[in-house]
Amino acid sequence: MHPILFELGGVTIHTYGALGAAAFLLGAFIALKRGEGLGVNPEATADLIFWTALVGLVGSRLLFVYQNPQGMDTLWDVMNFRKGGMVFYGSLLVAVPFGTLWMRAKGMPVLAMWDVMATVMPLAHAISRVGCYAAGCCYGTETNAAWAVVFTEDLAVAPHDVALHPVQLYEAAMLLVVAAIVNLAWVRRHQDGLVIGLYLGLYAIGRSVMELYRGDVSRGFFMPDQLGEWMTYSQGISLLGLVVGGLLIWVGRRSAA
C-alpha cells in the first residue's frame, strides 16, 4: 500500500522498518516503567529487552528459512532479509527460553517480568502488522469482499492486482483486543504468570484463526501427515502456546497460594 514512507538525502525509509522501530521503542518505554514499578533496575530491564529482541530477531528469521528453504543456498541468502522475511513465532520460540535464562542469571523476578513483557508485546506487534500491510507482506487469501485490498506497488511482496483479504489489518485489530485484555489483567492481577499466560493463550487462538485468511502460509509443521495436510506451522505452534500459557497460569497460581 505504501512501502516507502519517505526518502531523505538519498536514504530510503521503509514504512515497515519505521513502524517496527516505533513499536520497539514504545514497548521498551512501557516495559522499563513497569519493570521499575516492580523494583527492577531499569538498566537490567533495558539489557533484557535488547538482547531478547536481538535473539528473537534471529529466531524469527531462522524459522522463516526453515519453512521456506528454497533458494537459501548460502549464508548470505539466510542473512539477507530482503530475500523473504520473518516468522513471529520463531521469535517467541527462542526469545522466551533465552529471556527466562537471562532473568534467572540476573536475579530478576521471572514470571513478573514476563507479565510486564506480555503487556507490551501485543501492542508492539499490532503496530508492526500495520507495517506489514504497508509493505504487502504476510498477505491474505483471494476474496470478493467489498473491503478487499489490491497491491499494485512493485515493492509489495503480495501478488499484484489481485483482490486479497487485508489479513494484516485483521491481525492488528485482533492484537489490539489482546493488548486491551492483558493490560486489564495487569491492572487487576493477583498472581505472577497470569498476564503472560493469557497473552500466549489468546494470541494462539487469534493467530490460528488468522491463518485461515493468510495466503502466504507454510503447511506441514512437525505433525503426522494427516494433520500436516491442513495445519499450518503457526497453527501447530499455537497448540504449544496454549499449553505453555495454561501451565504458566497454573504455576503462578500455585506460587501465589
Which structural domain range is residue 118 located in? Answer: 4-256
pLDDT for the residue 230:
67
CB atoms within 10 A of CB 206: 19
Give the total number of structural domains in the chain: 1
Beta bridge partners of 142: 164
Distance from C-alpha of 63 to C-alpha of 89, rounded to nearest angstrom: 8
Question: In the chain, which ranges are continuous DSSP H helix?
Answer: 15-37, 42-67, 75-79, 88-106, 110-135, 167-188, 194-210, 225-228, 233-256
For position 255, what pLDDT does the model report? 81
Closest CA to 118 of 189, 16, 22, 51: 189
How many residues does this entry show for the chain? 257
Distance CA 194, CA 126 (A): 21
User: Residues 86, 57: contact at Cβ < 8 Å?
Assistant: yes
> pTM of the entire structure?
0.90
Question: What local confidence, expressed as pLDDT, does residue 224 receive?
Answer: 47
Q: What is the mean pLDDT of each run of 10 residues along the chain (257 residues)?
A: 75 85 95 95 96 94 81 76 76 95 95 97 96 89 94 83 95 98 94 95 96 78 52 87 94 81
